[in-house]
Structure formats: structure tokens, C-alpha cells
Structure 1
């Protein structure tokens, strides 16, 4: 009965303090013990004792929870913003012959959206497995940067581009391919294979072997080696953005 009285006294004191003052400590009761007579009282003379938690500890815990929720919300908003920019960017370049049909003003809008997405890029994209896979070339601000003479103004008149693709495989393989139809009569394909070397966290240098050309029944190599530098400025599960050493912008879309 003395233990029960102590419990009641403590409860009354805590209740009175809450009504009259801002508490600095909160009373924590020991776990109740159920007896055969149905009464639930604290076990006397046990290692369980009445304890107090300083109100500052509660405030600190509440602050941590608030900051965690705020951080989670901010991360979700960032992800949503990036996804919206990705969808907007792909809609800008869809059906434009990989950017060749866009006006100067439209190219500027694409560049502006790319710059915004660049701010969401992960710190070290070259260390991410997301860079590997098969990619379609959706856009290039300079058409000849991805297909050479095959994508020049005259080349596009004579050769209808059917496919532009890039494959990146671990640890360092890069393969480029441009498939076309010559005068809508003869199918052809030019491909490049090479290896890349990381220069820092974003920039890589790719050294390609001589191009391999298929034109109807004919297949042969021509020219010599070539080398390019490109930075990965954004990558996620859907797209990869690149910027060449001369400022050209590339948009690659992951193949389904």
C-alpha cells in the first residue's frame, strides 16, 4: 500500500506541476506488476525506480525528428523536380531528328534545361553503375559531333538516319553506331569502338579505332584512330547528359 501511495503522490505532483508551471522534468513511472488480487502496483524494493527526464532531452529528440522529416521531404522534392526536368527535356527534343530540326531559340531552351539538371548531378557520376548500358542518342547541339559527315546538312539529305546508339560496358568499352538508309534504297551502318579513360570525377577521354562501314553488301574500315573528351554532367535510370570539350551538349536515353 505504501508503494501505491507513492505512485499516486508522484502522479498528483506531476499533474499539479503541468497545470501551474512549464515543467523542466517529466516523471517516468516504473513498469507495473500485476498481482493475483487484480491490483497493479509498482514492485517495491526492486531495481526499477522512479526517474526523471529533463525537458531539454525531449526538445532535442523532437528537433531531431523534425529535421529528419524536413530532410526527407527536401530529398523527395529534389527528386520530383529532377524528374520533371527530365520529362520536359525529352519532350523538347522528341521528333526533332536528334535536335537537327530545332531553331536557335529552341536549342537555347534545351541548354537552359540541361544546365538546371546539371545542378542535380550526383557528385561522382563516373563511379555510378548507371553510366553503363545501351543508350539512344536523343539530341546533340551540333549534329556532326555524333555522326561526323553522315550527320552534316548534306549527309542528312542523302542519308536518312534510322538509328543512333551508344553502348558503354564495364570496365572501359564504348561503342557508337549510326544506321542509315542511302537515298532510301541502300541500308548502311558506320560504327566505332574504343576505350575510355577517366580524367577526373566527370570527364573521360575516349580513344576510338578506325571506323567500320557497312554499305549494302560491302564492309570495310577506313581512316584512322580518333579521340574525344566528354563530361558526364547528369545521369539517372532514364537519361544521361554529356558535354563535349568544345561545348556540344548530348542527351542519351536508356534503351528499354
Structure 2
């Protein structure tokens, strides 16, 4: 049933309800699974594809993938893969490691990825199936550069069902996750993600953004009017808009400010688009005058 839903991002309400009901039945079966706690079950370790997500009632943003999986992010940074891995520590005294990764193509042709690497710790004194993952700042790979962006972050996730093929998770805000073992996740480079040195992403992206904005303004303001000139102005306005909107997604490594801030993020993106369009209009008017 989850096939063709873009990992849960594109599914009608009635179908989502049917899928979620099946997952909740598995969740009930998971309560009887042994050995417990599930977070110590050896089946937990491995590489998984994120096959489906369903936002909980207390969460408005994308449950997985941050801004890259929001409406604007999926439009500009088309998802090619969404993965999570959980690695057993080589030293039993060390915590396990969790790695999240979203692979994308910017504007449909420029490949890249964003990822998080963090340590897994038990959350609370009761149900040890629930863990807190504390992530280092995000890594974003674009233009062949691995950049460090954003700040450390954390999530809380409960494993509610586990077998040889599938792991089900529930987030602290009620979101559901279906993780499918193996597949493309096995060759996604999860073991090494976030282990090497990265370049300061804010500085690099700032320079690239400034260069693109200057190029866009030059096209809008500097191209003389005329049949061919208007094509340049339109191209410049489009470059300004796309640059601004990509920047809105990439800020803080694509991480949300708050899992409940999905509506505010969408409003912010709309305001950014309006500002870029206003800059383009002002430049065209100045040139025409």
C-alpha cells in the first residue's frame, strides 16, 4: 500500500488512514515481542530505507528529511533516497550510532545529499524501547563539497515493532515511520557519513549565494529592454527567486527550527519568494525609467 506514496508525502487522506491502521495493528503486536527491550534486539542493527512516514497530530512539518522533505524542498531538491542506519558499537561501553541521510538532485540534475550522525542513548527510566538521538551539525554535500551546517540537534524515537525485514518507529509527537531493511541503503555510504572533515558551510554557501544573486540582478537591471532583453530579465528574476528559495531550504543544514513549525516555514518560504520577485520588479522598473 505504501508504494507510490513518495515515502508518505503524497497520499490521499483515506489511504493514509488505512495504512496507519495497519501500522497501528503491528504496533500492538510489537508490544508482545521478545526479547525486550527492542532497542537491545540484534535485529535493530543495519541499514534501512525510510519507506513511509505519517505525521502525528502534534507535528506539522515533515517527519523525516527536514526542510528537504517539505513542499518546497521536494520541489527544488528532488528526493532520490531517504535512509536511516543504526550501528552497533565496537566497544560495549560506547553508545550505538544512528545516521540519517537524504539523497537529492537540485533542480532535477545536480546530485547531492544531506545527513546527520549522532549517538543513541536511552530516554527515560521506563520503556527502554525509547531512545534519544543527539546529532552533530548536519553535513550537506553540494558542488562536490561536504559542508558543515547548522547546530547540534536531537530527536526521540520509540521502536514499536521489529522483525527481519521491517522496523516501525513512533516519534515523540506521534509520527509513524516504516524502515525497510537493506535495498539501496546498503550502498548509500552510511558507515562513513559525517566521519570526515567538512568545510564551513555557511561561508561557502554565502559566497555562492552572493554570486548567484549578483548574476541575477545583473540580468534584471543590466540587460537593455527589447524582445531579447526581456528574456534576460525573466531569467534573472528566476535566478533570484530560485537562489532565495534554495537558501530557505538549506539554512541550518535543512533542519527545521521546531517540529511544529511546518506552517511557519511554509509562510517564510512564501515571503522569501515574494521578496525575490519584488527585487526583480524594482530592478526592471529602475532600468525602464
Matched, 1:235 2:176: no
Task: Flag the structure with more relative contact order, 1 or 2, with Cα contacts below 8 A and sequence separation at least 6.
Answer: 2
Alignment-derived partner of residue 181 in structure 2 = 254
Q: How many angstroms does 1:216 deviate by?
A: 2.0
**TM-aligned CA deviation for residue 181 of structure 1:** 0.3
**2:34 equivalent to 1:125:** no
The separation in 2 between residues aligned to 1:154 and 1:146, in whole angstroms, is 15
Name the structure 2 match of 1:99.
8
Higher mean Cα deviation, 203-212 or 165-174? 165-174
1:190 to 64, 89, 114: 114
Counterpart selection for 1:145 from 49, 56, 63: 63
Q: Which runs of 4+ in 1 moved over 4 A?
A: none
Alignment correspondent of 2:287? none
Structure 2: distance between partners of 1:235 and 1:216: 38
How far, CA to CA, are the matches of 1:188 and 1:144 in structure 2?
19
Q: In 2, distance between residues paired with 1:124 and 1:218?
A: 40
| Mapped partners of 2:144, 2:130: distance in 1 | 38
Query: What SS is found at the alignment partner of 1:120?
Result: helix
Q: CA deviation at 1:201?
A: 2.4
- Give the distance between the partners of 1:177 and 1:183, measured in 2 at CA: 19
Question: Does 2:86 match 1:168?
Answer: yes
Of structures 1 and 2, the larger Rg is shown by: 1
Hey, what does 1:203 align to over in structure 2?
130
Matched, 1:218 2:145: yes
- Residue 154 of structure 2 aligns to a residue whose secondary structure is strand
Q: C-alpha separation between the residues in 2 aligned to 1:178 and 1:244?
A: 18
Q: Give 1 or 2: higher strand fraction.
A: 1
Is the alpha carbon distance of 1:116 and 1:212 closer, same or farther for their aligned partners in structure 2, counting shifts above 3 Å?
A: same
**Runs of 5+ in structure 1 lacking a partner?**
1-91
Unaligned segments of structure 2, at least 5 residues: 56-60, 90-95, 184-289
Give the Å deviation of 1:110. Answer: 1.5
Alpha-carbon RMSD: 1.2
Q: How far apart are 1:185 and its partner, in Å? A: 1.8
Aligned-pair CA distance for 1:217: 2.3
Is 1:156 the counterpart of 2:79? The answer is: no
Q: What do residues 123-152 of structure 1 show as CA deviations (whole Å, max 9, x unaligned)?
A: 421121011100000011137221111000
What TM-score, normalized to structure 1? Answer: 0.62
CA distance in 1, matches of 2:62, 2:25: 25
Structure 1 CA distance for aligned equivalents of residues 81 and 173 of structure 2: 24
TM-score (norm 2): 0.55
- Equivalent residues in 2 for 1:41-60, closer than 5 Å: none
2:19 paired residue number: 110
How many pairs align? Answer: 165
